[in-house]
Structure 1
Amino acid sequence: MPGGRAAGRCGIIVHGEPHRVSSTLNLDLTLWREFQAGLSGLLNIPISLSGADGKIIVPPSVENRVCRVELESEGGRRCAESCARAVAKALRTKSIYIFKCHKELFSFVIPVFLDSSSALAIVGGRCHLSGVVASSRGAGGADDVRTMSPHELFTLPGFVEKLAVPVLRGLHAKGLCASELRRRESRRGPLRSIDSLDEAVSTLASLTDREELLKALLDKSIELAGAEQGSVLLLENDGTSLSVKAAKGMDKSIAENLKIRCGEGIAGSIVESGRPVIVTDIEKEGPARKNRPRYKTKSFVSIPLRMESRVIGVLNLSDKITGEVFSEEDLKLLLSLSNYASIAIERGVYYNMIEELKVISVTDELTGIFNRRYFQERLFEEAERAKRHSENFSIFIIDIDDFKALNDRYGHLVGDEVLKGTATAIRDAVRSIDVVARFGGEEFGVILPYTSKIDAFVIAERIRKGVEKYGSVIKGMPFREWPTISLGVAEFPRDAETIEELLYKADKAMYMAKARGKNRVVVSE
């Protein structure tokens, strides 16, 4: 399969002269490295950041064995050349580009245009494609290379683009703020607000919670402009009106109940026009603007807040401490900060989305406990820890007795309640350090760090009795007695030297518990 363009919006080709880009950027990449590592872990693929010339700026936090071996050999040059060509193609076409490298691994490139002269590229994937036999499979310990379906390969880049691009643009905006202020400082002497703006941007960069971000934006804007009062208004979900999300100098009851329809008043008009406004004398706007006892001066400034191309809110400031009117210099400073704040708001939305996805990716949807994927990851970590430090741990394999008969008799809704209740009973009986997960169906697993199977037996009995008695606290079920469970216990490395063997021993012990009459614990021998 040759390199190709991703489907959808990203597949649009922009005709004409190639976009001129530069890889010389003023970016603080500390936040990006943290974000990149988190996204890579969430998606289970290597992700890196390259300049417009294709050279890697931030390497992957984790690399698969195929690429690691190749980069440490003569093949590293071919890897770099292949990636550089793909980056050039993505930047030239202004679209996500999917390609296959000389090791037959599939990757994607996401072009990131920061402004008219600066661009980066996010490179990710390095995976096998299901149904495609690659020569690198099985060679050099290639078992850690992820296999994707064609659907995943062509949809995942768009997801990464939505999450990652706002972060990079936010970092770029932060760098531009600092650069512009230093340029002015060198031309005009010390600028009173450079330290304040640097501090303001740094403060916003550290926040992802929207409420905290908006409050910080207002506080720092007031400080920059030397104002006494201000507010941040955001569009409601229906998009027809603005409401106050942060305020200073405004009565709390007024702030909580104030609604401004789009198109009405100065703030409402800014939503529609998207242009900032400085007013030197509000009373000249008309008689309705006179007699404003809450304000000390007649001047104020209002600035739109954006997410991508949409206006999502308005920043208002009034009453300069000096009694002067707001100046063009004030506007430039506030626009610099609000541009970054808008991107920070967008970044916060996607950051929260990532946090939610992290939870979803390791959680069983029905029971709320961990899923099989997370259990396997933790099992691997525990085995590696035990090997390094010559320690032990135990696991349980747990199965609900006669669950299929119960499901057939009472239906799936009752069956789901039994699964949820059993998961709760298991979780309530273990320690805080233990890991409880649903394998699928009516089977559960528990990892018990630093625990021998002798000690694990005591905990297993506590779980068994807890599940047995669980029915007494649940009302409205169509049966008298809550279903029981059978548990198998195995210890690493006493019973097994590999994860596979450990799971087999615990599973075998669980089936022995079934054979011996169910509702009991059997320890692997």
Structure 2
Amino acid sequence: MTKKSHKSKAAIVQERPEDAPDGWAPVQHRLAAASGLSLLLVDGRQPPALVISDNNSICHALQSSPDLGSLCDPYCGDAYRRAMSTGGVVHYKCHAGLQCFAMPVQIAKGRNLAVIGGRAFVSGADYRVIVERLRAGDLKDLLGSEPLSRVIFAEPANLDQLADRLQKAARQFEGEMSRLPAEEEELAPLPPANAGAPPAPTLSASSKSSSDLQREIDQLRRELEYRSQFAESLRHFLERISSGDPQKTYTAILTNSKDLLLAERASLLVVDERANELILKAGVGMKAQISEVARIRLGEGVAGGVLETGRALVVENIENAGMAPAPAARQYKTKSFISYPIRIGGRTIGILNVTDKTSGKDYDDIDLSLLEIIGPQVALALERAGWQERATEFQLMSITDPLTGLLNRRYLQERLNEEVNRSRRYEYPMSFLMIDIDDFKSYNDLNGHQ
């Protein structure tokens, strides 16, 4: 008997919109679009949902898979039961590292419904874990389903705000639905012939609540615009920080990271793996010149310590943290900073430091999450710059004498041909001077033959 392949199995049905309460889908779609988060209306175990709004592509790929969908059963699959049993908002983190919530909603008479919301990464570390699982782990069979086509990032507070707005929208929707039959009954009877003029129209509770809902939606739209700009910035981040010139790459990494973290000062150090030391490559707001900053050894100072542990350091107040304050000559405005290890393939290849937040406030874990989001792009650009530097170094080694640093015969042959051709093209005379250095053998004997 042949084993049935993953592709031959039918995908699991995700949505039953025909069973959703009339009129609810547009309300849910607007809330999801404005918040930048996912929302799903469910009436039992999920999938399928009744209405799906802006689903996370990772969730869609997982729950559509006949082989891997069961991984979600203890989480979103069971979210309906947990929401109905508690009668309130239930927060949970699923196996994919996504932060979610579930809550009951009263939007249809005689039906017990709930909404699953969020499905967002609140930590860059969780995102890196799922990427590794997709690339070479237990989820690699999902790559053909484009699981990373719509990945959602958020802060925990955004999920709480969406849950509050969802409750308000559900109450508003329930109120409008409950008033519809009464309003239709009032329209049915014909007025008597001697009826006077109708009273002046008044603003109904329905109109007032609709106005409140519109204000909520307008506020959410403004937040969505900010989120869209941030998402667009992330999508083009790698492109902005990459260059054929390594020094331009270092400067771009530092400038974009500084702007993202609202830092007045920042520095980028790269690991010299041969010496196991850190070399300053770029700095902003520093009092000393880059060339004046000495190399930092493994375990030395803040950056050297981060290099040694491979773990980020977030300090709200350097004195409260029991660390020695920076020298007064450096003139830092605040006592808070982040020292972040740039890692790729399990190796630390650089350290990014930011301090002096423009607002004067302290750095915290939310700022660290921003760095973790851009961390993979920064690491890739930094490694490329390192390869470019090494290639330039190898090219330089091929045309210079390693003992004296003087240009060698290979360089002479390349440049001599160029100059001869230039002389012929522009028809001007060319001179060639050869100098013999006496007793150079003693220099070689003293300093070593190469």
Task: Please confirm whether the aligned pair reaches a TM-score higher than 0.5, indicating the same fold.
Answer: no
**Is the strand fraction higher in 1 or 2?**
1
TM-score after normalising by structure 1: 0.35
TM-score after normalising by structure 2: 0.40
Larger RCO (alpha carbons 8 Å, 6+ apart)? 2
